[in-house]
Amino acid sequence: MARVLVTERIAERGLRLLKEAGHEVDVEEGISPEGLLAAIPGAGALIVRSATQVTAEVLEAGRDLVVVGRAGVGIDNIDVEAATARGVMVVNAPESNILSAAEQTFALLLAQARNIPQAHAALVAGRWERTKWEGVELYGKTLGIVGLGRVGALVAQRALAFGMRLLAYDPYIAPDRARRMSVELRSLEELVAESDFLTIHLPRTPETLGLIGRELLKRAKPGLRIINTARGGIVDEEALAEAVADGRLGGAGLDVFAKEPTTESPLFHLPSVVVSPHLGASTTEAQDKAGITIAEQVLLALAGDFVPNAVNIAATEVSEIARPFLPLAEQLGRFFACLHEGLPDHLEIEYLGTLATTSTAILTLAALKGLFSTSTEEPVSYVNAPRLAEHRGLEVRETSAATSHDYVNLITLRSGEHAVAGTLTGAGVRLEPRFVMVDDHDVEVPPARDMLVVRNDDRPGMIGVVGTTLGAAGISISSMAVGRSPQGRTALMVLATEVPAPDEVLDALRQDPGIFDLHRVTL
């Protein structure tokens, strides 16, 4: 039996499950960081929500920890990498609030369409303003859905019942899957131009931060109404307020904000904007499900059984040969996703060398984890990555061979459009990752957070074109590799930059007739 430390409120039914299993449940709500460090020794499990910071220091102090449970979806407050290194499992409750979040989306959508909060406020203040708060019907209107993950799919189902036409932007979902949901896929620009209502269901990542910004809103259909129950910061709130204030947009409904908690925003003073203080998961049912689910996952982990909602995998469960390649496989997956700027038609993963002598299933999971890491509102894990691939219609094929001509070990990801390969160089504890092939061009460059992939005409001066454009924008190049195609007609540059290259720099590069293709990569 183990001691389970619970630092934030969870459903009483969840606590009861833990006690009935014979574990000692130690509830210390509101514990300070110093108090947590003092309380964690001797605990076999730690259950938190979003306020408790589970740092590397906490994990080191918790030498008896088997599992950390997050009673909810997001795991930003848990150092998963440190937990993995120490063999501590991290679990969450990813499906606990999806129904509540979808219903909150529709609550805001209806409240925004019919001006219910504004009319309520006027009436209780003694004003009968029936004409002023005339609304619009949902029937026959076009709903644009940004992100067709689990919450987006539930919103789509409910919108069909209201007789709405459904469009969506989600480059990580197969067209056949979208058609089965009665959804037509569009680019983001097309989506805002055609939609009467727009709902957002994406994670907050460097790629999605400010996604709905000033330039995109200029392309919006006049009167578009935007609903965001996903994460703050995806919508540029200042640009949104300007577009609503000058009448280009019909209004907005927001449950999340760039900074939380907040009580000041230019949006709060606009009569056609409806707001709520991040209530997407604030239902009795969602909180009950989160508490019960996390208790069940913790019980499985403590018993040594399979845990369906494990976010990580303990390093001790991976073979000695495959373990060093886990970060590389995940980086290759992210790189591959950036090359496609969406979901490929299929994915072939090839393992060459001594890797082929051991189980590579965990490396395939790591590659899928990287591939989907920026495309869903839930944390992507080794456990749920295959389900995401199935849900989004991605066919995955794996091959291996024990011989490799050029490298001791090589991992290659390939589709009909793109390919990327990587390996580890060095020996012992000094193994370092390298990307060694991109789109069948031989290159060798270490992975970096911000990269550019440029395919260009194989003629003198092209390196100078790229370097001059980046330099004029004040962007330093930290490393670079150039490779020719096997046919010799094109060349490929892979550059690591000190900061991300902004859209205007990419647009300037695309204007050069010698540049055929350009991709921004964020690892």
Write the CB contacts of 74 (distance below 8 Å, at least 6 apart in sequence).
50, 92, 379
CATH number of 323-522: 3.30.1330.90
Q: Does 3-94+286-317 match 323-522 in CATH topology?
A: no
pLDDT of residue 168: 97
Which among 469, 489, 492, 470 has a CA at the least distance from the CA of 481?
492
- Asked if omega into 261 is within 30° of 0 (cis), the reply is yes
What is the model's pLDDT at position 158? 97
Q: Judge: domain 98-275, CATH 3.40.50.170.
A: no
| Catalytically annotated residues | 231, 260, 278
Q: Which of 373, 54, 52 is nearest to 203 (CA)?
A: 373
Number of helical (H) and strand (E) elements in the chain, helices listed first = 17, 22
How far, CA to CA in Å, does 225 sit from each of 129, 210, 304?
A: 22, 17, 49
| DSSP reduced 3-state for 364 | helix
Look at residue 438 in the predicted model and tell me its pLDDT.
Answer: 92
Give the model's pLDDT for residue 240: 97
Residue-by-residue pLDDT tens, the chain, 523 positions = 899 999 999 999 999 999 999 999 999 999 999 999 999 999 999 999 988 999 999 999 999 999 999 998 878 899 988 888 787 889 999 888 899 999 999 999 999 999 999 999 999 999 999 999 999 999 999 999 999 988 999 999 999 999 999 999 998 888 888 999 999 999 999 999 999 999 999 988 878 889 999 999 999 999 999 999 999 999 999 999 999 999 999 999 999 999 988 999 999 999 999 999 999 988 999 989 999 999 999 999 898 777 878 888 655 566 778 888 888 999 999 999 898 877 787 899 999 998 888 888 889 988 998 888 766 666 677 767 787 888 788 889 999 888 777 888 999 999 988 999 999 987 666 789 999 999 989 899 999 999 999 998 888 888 999 999 999 999 999 989 998 877 768 889 999 999 988 888 988 999 999 999 899 988 8
Joined together, the tokens standing for residue 325 give: 């390649």
Nearest-CA neighbor of 485 among 453, 443, 446, 434? 443
Please classify residue 160 by burial: count the beta carbons closer than 10 Å to its beta carbon, then call 0-12 exposed, 13-18 middle and 19+ buried.
middle
CATH 3.40.50.720 at 3-94+286-317, yes or no: yes
Which pLDDT score, from 0 to 100, does residue 235 have? Answer: 96
Q: Rounding to the nearest 10 degrees, give the CA dihedral for residues 400, 403, 405, 408.
A: 90
What is the DSSP secondary structure assignment for residue 54, as one 8-state letter?
B
For residue 517, report the phi and psi dihedrals to the nearest 5 degrees: -155, 145
| Domain extent listing, the chain | 3-94+286-317, 98-275, 323-522
Q: What residues contact residue 38 under an 8 Å CB cut-off, 6+ apart?
A: none
pLDDT of residue 123: 96
CA neighbours within 13 Å on the CB side: how many for 77? 18
Long-range contact set of residues 389-394: C-beta below 8 Å, sequence gap at least 24? 389/347, 391/177, 392/172, 392/173, 392/174, 392/177, 392/343, 393/173, 393/174, 393/176, 393/177, 393/343, 394/174, 394/343, 394/344, 394/346, 394/347
Integer Cα distance of 224 and 179 in angstroms? 24
**Cα separation, 45 vs 300, whole angstroms:** 11
With a CB cutoff of 8 Å and minimum separation 6, the contacts of 49 are 8, 9, 10, 70, 71, 72
Strand partners, 483: 492
